[in-house]
Structure 1
Amino acid sequence: MKERIAAVDKFRGMTIVLMILVNNPGTWASVYRPFLHADWHGYTPTDMVFPFFIFIVGTSIFFAYSTKKSNVATYKKITIRSLKLIGLGLFLGAFTLTFPFVKDFSEIRFPGVLQRIGVVFFITSILFLNFNWKQLMAVTAVILVGYWVVMGFIPVNGIASTFDRAPNNLANYVDLKLLGTHMWKDDYDPEGVLSTIPAVASCLLGVFTGQILRTKRQNKITILMVLGSALVLLGHAWDFVFPINKALWSSSFVLVSAGWANLILALIYYITTIRKVQFGTIFNYVGANAITVFFLSSFVGKLFGLIHVGTANVTLKSWLFTKFYVHDFLPAELSSFLYAFTIMSFYCLIALVFYKRQIFIKV
């Protein structure tokens, strides 16, 4: 059991490391294409990172709550953890260096990565505690098909809804009505209200993978490989009528991302558990304090963008990047990547120190 959790922990750590890497380029003007999100439809490796983490949240829910009872004490723990995640996300969105260190209310973005994790964790945990696996499969199917029907066939302001960006996109329409100015951009929010619903399906698919890993069957790797391949193929087939799109968290995107997550997790499990080959131990260290490391990287990264230095009044991030990474002999994309790699390495080092000192901060 510990080995199985170790494989999941390693995958969780990998996603956090990639999150930090793609979120901290030296400059957004020069980034290698694989480290950028797709312009709209389609996906890049970067688009897979967040759904991978949501998927692993589901797998962890299975391990953590498969022996828990559906009672008030369990619900209390789930609720508190969810509120902590949402609170941390709101703090990141509201914090500023100007007294009283909170943005004007109209400028605060309500959705966010940690907020979505908190909401999805809460809903999925409650579902897991109250339904059997057949019922959960039915719920997952209803979410995916229902989201497609809602997004594709409900008109917006009397105009047929499309899967393009605003104005006649139902997800954006709902966000504008409910969130107003509290969105990432006025034409869409990648962690919006409506698109959080299919994210629950991503988490539930992770729950099913946890159940596969828990079984005593010897062909777990084969099952995960077949399941992963089937989900990727089905997602790409669905793409013809419901485009793969991270911003909308489309049903096809859910299937494709969960498919790749199963394939990668199967590979990690095979290498570490079946072949007994140890690699990337640092990912285990990061995975053991995943939310803490991610929050620290997000908060410090925001500080680097808020603090200004020198007579030119440039941000601390811009100053560090220009001073130490911009050189005539380096391509701009490589300079930007090296900055991000340095930031990522720093937080891996923090994770290592935490792990060696047996510091595990549970959010």
Structure 2
Amino acid sequence: MDVNKRIVAVDIFRGMTISLMVLVNTPGTWSSVYSPFLHAQWHGYTPTDLVFPFFLFIVGTSIVFAYKNKKPSLKTYKKIGVRALKLIILGLFLGAFTLSFPFFKDFENIRFPGVLQRIGVVFFITSALFLNLNWKKLIFVVLVLLFGYWALMTLIPVDGQPSTLTRAPNNLANWLDVQLFGSHNYKPDYDPEGFLSTLPAIASALLGVFTGEILVGKQKNKTALLFGLGGCLLIVGHLWDIVFPINKALWTSSFVLVTAGWANVVLAIIHYLSDDRKIIFGSIFKYVGSNAITIYFLSSFISKLFYLIKVEGEISVHEWLFHTVYVQDFIPLQFSSLLYGLSVVGFYCFLGYFLYKKGIFIKV
């Protein structure tokens, strides 16, 4: 198979993932959100907890399409390095921006980790591994990352206390983030994109690499292979949950397997419909996926502006818009909150369509 040939299912999957990222990040009010659109409080997972690992998974799959026939070279490393650096800088900008001159927060208030930062780091490391290792060695790397992280998080004592997987000072991931970043974390007691949990996040992308190899390979029953792989990952992940709980904030090894399992199952369904049966659907998601990072960045930046800019005294643009247009006596508040988020998604779907039709593809 020509690796440059577009696989429709991947484009649709990527666009759906970005659309869901926008939806769960922009409710009308965080005080009234349907539970599936919230993260699990700690252990366990909701549909929302699948979104970010789905994106890292498809990053891994896309790496196969981009670098399958490339050799390791200074030019290639420079290309992936520049792209990773752009993602990290954009993420830091999102965290640091404010309306007050000089338009950046005080240094001590800037968060260092973040979604785009993690994507950049994971993309760079996964690409480098893919360029240098065959699939057998990559499997070994995944096993080392997952079992090694399990051992680190459960066996190493912190400040003389037994390790714990709760939000506590002697949680190794929390403790290490505090040592490295100090106050530059999401919360004083945890960061969902922290330093140590980046290791299993790399495994999430590498599992996407294996799926990419299936999609560009010569196997005939690719949909069945994706279903089978997804089912196996789900079973093993849920069994591992017994001793190493599924946890998005800590990005536990069981979480990696379960989310990659669901990613394969969802991608298998889309692949069966779009690439096997040739049913035309989900084109709007394909348009969004063509400028995925651009749309995610714009949605995050504009959402931040809507919270920062005040109208009518101390009411933010976001609050004014939500309460003026979406909050009505005959609509439950949770549904109003969802409608706001769906409207935001609709706007960025239209933007994705416009950019696609104009042939504008912004490479970050």
Give distance in 2, aligned partners of 1:176 and 1:19.
27
CA contact (8 A) 2:157 2:163 kept: yes
Give distance in 1, aligned partners of 2:219 and 2:202.
27
Give distance in 1, aligned partners of 2:68 and 2:218.
16
Q: Which runs of 5+ in 2 are unaligned?
A: none
- Alignment correspondent of 2:344: 343
List aligned pairs for 1:1-363, cutoff 5 A: 5-311=7-313, 313-363=314-364
Question: C-alpha displacement at 1:34, in angstroms?
Answer: 0.3
Give distance in 2, aligned partners of 1:100 and 1:36.
34
**Relative to 1, partners in 2 of residues 1:236 and 1:119: Cα closer, same or farther, differing over 3 Å?**
same
Question: C-alpha displacement at 1:280, in angstroms?
Answer: 1.2
Question: C-alpha displacement at 1:5, in angstroms?
Answer: 2.6
Q: Provide, for residues 4-34 of structure 1, a one-character-per-residue CA deviation record: whole Å limited to 9, x for no partner.
A: 5321111000000000000000000000000
Q: Which runs of 5+ in 1 are unaligned?
A: none
1:189 is paired with a residue of what secondary structure?
coil
Cα-Cα RMSD: 0.8
CA contact (8 A) 2:27 2:340 kept: yes
Give distance in 1, aligned partners of 2:191 and 2:121.
16
1:351 is paired with a residue of what secondary structure?
helix
One-letter amino acid matched to 2:337: S
Q: Matched residues, percent identical?
A: 65
Give distance in 2, aligned partners of 1:304 and 1:6.
34
CA contact (8 A) 2:8 2:275 kept: no
Give distance in 2, aligned partners of 1:5 and 1:104.
45
TM-score by length of 2: 0.98
One-letter amino acid matched to 2:115: V
Number of matched pairs:
362
Question: C-alpha displacement at 1:273, in angstroms?
Answer: 0.8
CA contact (8 A) 1:7 1:265 kept: yes
Q: Provide, for residues 225-280 of structure 1, a one-character-per-residue CA deviation record: whole Å limited to 9, x for no partner.
A: 11100000100000000000000000000000000000011111100011111111
Question: C-alpha displacement at 1:170, in angstroms?
Answer: 0.4
One-letter amino acid matched to 2:338: F
Give distance in 1, aligned partners of 2:30 and 2:275.
39
CA contact (8 A) 2:229 2:261 kept: yes
Give distance in 1, aligned partners of 2:6 and 2:103.
43
CA contact (8 A) 1:95 1:103 kept: yes
1:296 is paired with a residue of what secondary structure?
helix
Give distance in 2, aligned partners of 1:81 and 1:254.
24
1:145 is paired with a residue of what secondary structure?
helix
One-letter amino acid matched to 1:45: P
Give distance in 1, aligned partners of 2:60 and 2:219.
21
